[in-house]
Amino acid sequence: MRVCSRSDGHSIRAHLAMALVCVCGVAAFADPARFDNHLLVEVEVSSPAELAELEARAELLECRARIGANRFVVSPDHIDALDGRDYKILHTNVQALIDAEAADRAAARSLRGPDFFADFATYAEVNAYIDTLVALRPDIATKVQAGTSLEGRAIWGLVLQSPVASPSQRPQFVISGCQHAREWISPMAVMYVADRIVRNYGSDADITALLDAVEFHFIPIVNPDGYVYSHTTNRLWRKNRRPNGTSTGVDLNRNWSIGWGSNSSSSGSAEDYRGTAPFSEPESTSVRDYMSTLTNMRGHLDVHSYSQLILGPWAHTSSPSPRRDELFPVSRKMGVVMLATHGVTYDYGFGDDVLYLAGGAMPDWTFDRGALSWTYELRDDGSQYGFILPANQIIPNSEEVFAGMLVIADAIQRDVEFTFPKGRPIWADADTPTSVDVTLIQWNENLIEPNSVRVFSRIGTTGAFNEAAPALNGLSFAASLPAISCGQTAQYYFTAHTTDGRDVRNPSDPNTTYELHVGDATVELADDFEQDTGWQASATAVDGQWQRGVPAGGGDRADPPTDYDGSGAAYVTDNADGNSDVDNGEVILESPPLDLSEGGRLTWAYWQDSLATLDGSDYMIVEYATDVAGTNWTYHRAYETPLDQWRTDALSVGGDIPASPTFRIRFVARDVGNGDVVEAAIDAFEAIRYSACAAPPCVGDLDGSGMVDLADLSGLLGAFGVCSGDAAYIPAADLDSSGCIDLPDLSGLLAIFGVSCE
């Protein structure tokens, strides 16, 4: 037996909170029971039979019981149920926790004052604050009723629209909260986002531009009956208040039609009871009908707690969702900006990558209707507070939500985008055609006519462009640009037509083109990883750190059997034989700073493979930083497809990827959870630095005047007959490089006499 008594009151109150609900759904506060000297324990359960034995003699606090750690409340009369089991005591008197939690809530309310966000608001207070925001800015804010609950309460919403006319309909962004009643941080975060926009529109340039571009629809409390009940009777009530015979409540986030009936419960007493049919509940039906009136709904964010997660679709199935090229980079960026807000980590992924499958979820329905949709699970990670989040975390947690929301708002404004998986080059090798890899992303279901893509290019800055129709591989193609010599410029741009009849161009300004110049190449770093050249490894994962050395795994567990370039060494994740892969997090390999002041080109070999079922988010990610400190990282691309072989890639710097004297690149191998075998490796890294090419000397122009003239002829005649080694020898006059200035040189100069070097 392991016994561990904890004294952290907040942490224990989170466990207590589970005691009050997760006898999954019992209304514990309706007739409060006493829990004097009841133990709060965590038991390591090894089998379904052991779980059944414990449930018969103790109160299970998990809404989803599992093999592993489960929490129970054990009465003094049943303490012997723990005999011979692996458990730890979290608290010795549950009643003391109940009393302390009640005292904390009373104190918070008394100190709240006029600040709406100083404490968790009731249903009536949230609705009153909607009225306050409308009164503050009636020119942009409108209160709407999105529906009515089972018990007749209004489901109020707030619409924010710019007063500035728009030439086309703005994308509509729905932000919903409180499908689950006990998640009190949810409506507060939704209201905080609305509050920031209302109070800063017209004075803050960024927020003004945001509302001028996007129309917002806020529904802070989708489940008003459950929310009221959680305030008056049972603090951790989850569902709505539908009578189910001997039990109460339907989980509204299992009652939507997409995936309904899967990965949810058919038992009315279960916390995830899905209801008798899709949209059996007036709350889900009302909100569905309201959103169905939105003709340009492009974004949806459904706010929940807890776990600190960013969840993209699908929720109901492990099958990959479409539009991953849109969803993944947005999810990644949200994780970055939310972390940067207060240093709190939000993991990100799809479906059951980071949480569990759930059929009938609201964001799956909105995604199916064309909206880019996500679920946020807010603070904390469950280690301290769980659902009983202290009120002093309302504002910092809401600031994280606001930062993430801005990323979605930006994404839903995007049109067809021309992207450059290997970077857009600005430098070319002399007299060699240049290939530019391009991939089209059809953001927000803006579709292109596949045969409409064109590449326009020319040599020089004037004259007609040559038009070419590249061969597309899906939405990717390679554009071939003409060979140029030193001193020449190639200009180019791309076009396509959308299925709704619009022309798109890259670059978008019709008076602008991309340019390509010949550059002189210098090797900045050629690394076979035989020596330490300053690469840095770090990790959030529990296992799988990058290590430099000869691959040691043998290749039988998704690891590379050898290096790529034959030198022997490479960087490999957890370079050891056996169970040595990346687990439950990220491992990061960061280059030393590279001087690419005028641009350059990076090349490398990479290995990315997996055994078992690869999670939809177990990608290998490439990012770069251009700041001096190397702290501001920008997502570039992700390798999604595992393969048991080395592959190569490249990155041009200076075009869409900024040049920098302290350029860094990093490779992030990622494993969500620890159920997969994820391995990665990097080898044969090379960084080439480019600079403007030195123009070749003008043949025959001995004095550099720009013209082959009498002065040049005079100079050659003055050195006629002189050979190399003589002080009078003039190398430029030795036109044929024979070593002597002789008749062939004189003949050659006369042939070009009078020619301009321009």
Look up residue 198 and give its two tokens. 């209302």
User: What are the backbone dihedrals phi and psi of residue 756, each rounded to the nearest 5 degrees, phi first?
Assistant: -85, 145
HSE-CB at 353 with a 13 A cutoff on CA atoms is 25
What is the number of residues in the chain?
758
Query: By 3-state DSSP, what share of the chain in percent is helix, strand and coil, each rounded to 5?
Result: 25, 30, 45
Q: Among 517, 421, 498, which Cα is nearest to 453's?
A: 498
Look up residue 574 and give its two tokens. 């957890």
Cβ pair 43, 35 in contact under 8 A: no
Q: In sequence order, which residues have a C-beta less than 8 Å from that of residue 332 and are 6 or more positions away?
A: 348, 621, 635, 638
**Phi/psi zone of residue 598: left (φ > 0), alpha (ψ -120 to 50 degrees), beta?**
alpha
Please give the C-alpha separations between residue 486 and each of 430, 638, 692, 737, in angstroms, as whole numbers.
Answer: 6, 35, 9, 22
As a three-state string, the secondary structure of 706-720 is CECCHHHHHHHHHCC
**Strand runs labelled E in 178-276:** 215-219
Type of residue numbered 410: D
Type of residue numbered 377: E
Cβ pair 262, 270 in contact under 8 A: no
Dist. CA 651–CA 664, nearest whole Å: 12
Cβ pair 147, 289 in contact under 8 A: yes
Type of residue numbered 352: D
309 in helix, strand or coil? strand
**What residue has token string 């080109």?**
601
Dist. CA 367–CA 353, nearest whole Å: 18
What distance lies between CA 534 and its chain's CA centroid?
A: 28
User: What are the backbone dihedrals phi and psi of residue 467, each rounded to the nearest 5 degrees, phi first?
Assistant: -105, 135
Beta bridge partner(s), residue 312? 350
Look up residue 278 and give its two tokens. 């899709």
377, 400, 590, 623: which is the annotated catalytic residue? Answer: 377
Helices 185-200 and 205-213 sit at what angle, rounded to 10 degrees? 100
Look up residue 669 and give its two tokens. 């191998």
Dist. CA 497–CA 503, nearest whole Å: 5
H-run or E-run covering 158: strand 154-160
Dist. CA 108–CA 131, nearest whole Å: 24
Question: Is-catalytic flag, 377?
Answer: yes
Q: In sequence order, which residues have a C-beta less than 8 Å from that of residue 744 and are 6 or more positions away?
A: 735, 736, 738
Dist. CA 683–CA 573, nearest whole Å: 12
Please give the C-alpha separations between residue 723 and each of 700, 730, 731, 734, in angstroms, as whole numbers.
Answer: 17, 9, 9, 9
Dist. CA 257–CA 284, nearest whole Å: 10
Q: Among 384, 236, 372, 220, which Cα is nearest to 303's?
A: 220
User: What are the backbone dihedrals phi and psi of residue 101, each rounded to the nearest 5 degrees, phi first?
Assistant: -65, -40
Dist. CA 104–CA 14, nearest whole Å: 13
Dist. CA 599–CA 483, nearest whole Å: 19
Catalytic residues: 377
